[in-house]
Structure 1
Amino acid sequence: MAAAENVRLTYAFDAYCPWCYGFGPALRSFAQDHAHRVRLDIRSAGLYAGGRARPVSAYPRMADECERVTQLTGVGFGAGFAQALSDGTTVADSTAAAAGLAVLYSQADEVGVPHLAAAEAVQQAWFVNGRSLADPEVYRDIADGLGLDASKVSAAYASPAPWAQARADFRALRRLHVTTYPTLLLHTAHGADRLGSAASTAASLTAALDQCLAAAFSRPSFTQPPVSRGELS
C-alpha cells in the first residue's frame, strides 16, 4: 500500500512511568519491524511535573504497580531501582527527565542514533539502576554509552533550551488530549488514532496499525489545519 509508506506515529511516554518501561520491548520490536515505513516521534509527558514532582515515598503504590507491569509484560526491575524505592528519597521529576531526553535526542541526531535507544537508556538508568533522572551525570554516562559527546550533553543540559523543549512536549500532548501513558498515536489525514495498550505485543501493534491504515485510506480525506512548528511538526 504505497499511501501507507512513511507513516507518522507519536509515542507519548514518561521516563518515570513503569508501564512505559514495560511497553518498551514491544515498541522496540515493532519500530524495528516497520523502520522502512514508520517515523516515530517520541514526546515526553509530565506525569510527575510541577506539584507532582515529589519523592517516590509519596507514591507508596509504585512497587505494587511495578509488580503488575512485570506480570503483564515480563520486564524485570533492577536491584538499584528496588533500593531507590526502599530509600524513598529520590524525587520523581518528569521535567528534568524530559530535558535530559531532549538533549540526548539533539545529540543523537548528529550521529544517527535512534531516539528510542536514548529513551530506553534513560529508562534503564531509573528502572534498573535506580539513578535519579535529575542527576546530570546520568546523561553524561548515557552519552558515553551511545557514542555521543558527553561534554556537549552536559553543557546543553545546563542551558535553558532543553527545559523549554520539555515543556513544549507537555503542551503538545495536552493538545492531543493524551492523559495516560504509554500512548501510541497514528496520524492520518483524518486525525490521530490510538494503537494498542501498555500490554500490547509487537504483533498486536502491527495488526492495529494495518487495521487503522486500511480504515483511514478507505475514507474520504479532508484538509487538516497546519500544526505549529515546534509542537508536532
Structure 2
Amino acid sequence: MKLVYVFDAYCGWSHGFSATLAELTRRHPELPVEVVSGGLFTGARRVPIREFGYVQGSNAKIAELTGATFGQAYEHLIADGSFVMDSEAAARGLAALRQAAPARAAELAVAMQEAFYRDGLSLSDADTYRTVARAAGLDADAVAAAFAAPGAGKAARADFRRSAEYGVQGFPTLLAVDGDRATVLAVGHATADQVDQRLSALGRTR
C-alpha cells in the first residue's frame, strides 16, 4: 500500500492540510507517499486573483480549522489583486523538485506551499525553486533547470491526467492505493488521527 496525495500548490486547503500530511509521514515511514499536482488554476481559471473574491474569507476559515498561517509577504503579494495563480507552473515546479528527491516529495510539496503562503514567492518563478531546493539541501541550479525544461511540462500534464483518472474532484485528496484499488482517506480537511482511523479500517495501524 502507498499514499497518493493529490493537491494543488495554489490551493489554500492544500496548504491547510500540510500539517496533517507531515504528521502522517512521520507516523508512517513505512508507507511511500506519491504527490500528484492537480490543475486547479489552468485555462480560463488562470486569471488575476481579484477574480476570486472569496480568497480572503476562505483563508480565514482555513486558518481557523487547520491552524495554517498566511504570512505578511503573501498578503502583500496578493493585495492589489493582480497576481495570477498558474497551477501548470506550480506543477512543473513540483515535478522538478520531485525529480531531484523522489522520496521527499511530500516534504517538498509542503515547502512549496510555505514559499507561497508564508514567504509570498511566486510558484511561476524559477528562483522560488532555487530557494526551496537550497533550503532542502538539493542542487538549486539543477532544480531550476529542470523547472524550465520541457520534461517538467510533460510531467505536469501527466499529473493532471492522473488526478482525473483517480476521479479527484477537490483538493487536497489523500488516497490509499493498493494495487488497482484506491480508497479515499481525506478530502479538503482531516486530522492525522482521523486519517489513521481510516487507515486502520484498511488494516493499517500506527
Q: Same fold (TM over 0.5)?
A: yes
Distance 1:172 1:197, change over 3 A: closer
RMSD between superposed Cα atoms in Å: 1.4
Do 1:63 and 1:85's aligned partners in 2 also have CA atoms closer than 8 Å? no
Q: Deviations over 1:81-117 (max 9, x none)?
A: 11122121211000000001100111124xx6x1112
CA contact (8 A) 2:175 2:186 kept: no
**Greater relative contact order (Cα 8 A, min sep 6): structure 1 or 2?**
2
Mapping of 1:80-99 within 5 angstroms? 80-99=73-92
Q: CA deviation at 1:198?
A: 2.9
* 1:15-70 residue CA offsets vs partner (Å, 9 max, x unmatched): 0000010011011101110112x111110000001221111111111111110101
- Cα distance in 2, alignment partners of residues 189 and 129 from structure 1: 39
1:161 aligns with 2:151: yes
Q: Secondary structure at the match of 2:60?
A: helix
**1:91–1:132: 8 Å Cα contact kept in structure 2?**
no
Distance change in 2, residues 1:190/1:43 (3 Å) = closer
Name the larger-Rg structure. Answer: 1
The structure 1 residue matched to 2:196, chosen from 203, 206, 209, is 206
Q: Which residue of 2 aligns with 1:23?
A: 17
Match of 2:98 in 1: 105
Shift of 1:76: 1.1
| Structure 2: unaligned runs, 5 residues or longer | none
Unaligned 5+ runs, structure 1: 1-6, 215-233
* Structure 1 moving runs of 4+ over 3 Å: none
SS at match of 2:79: helix
Q: Indicate the SS of the match to 2:50.
A: helix
Map of 1:129-208 to 2, 5 A cutoff?
A: 129-189=119-179, 191-208=181-198
- TM-score, length-scaled by structure 2: 0.94
**Structure 1 residue aligned with 2:48:** 55
| TM-score after normalising by structure 1 | 0.84
Whether contact under 8 Å (2:49, 2:83) holds in the other structure is yes
**SS of match in other structure, 1:88:** coil
How many correspondences in the alignment? 204
Q: CA deviation at 1:154?
A: 1.7
Q: Distance between the aligned counterparts of 1:73 and 1:154, measured in 2?
A: 31
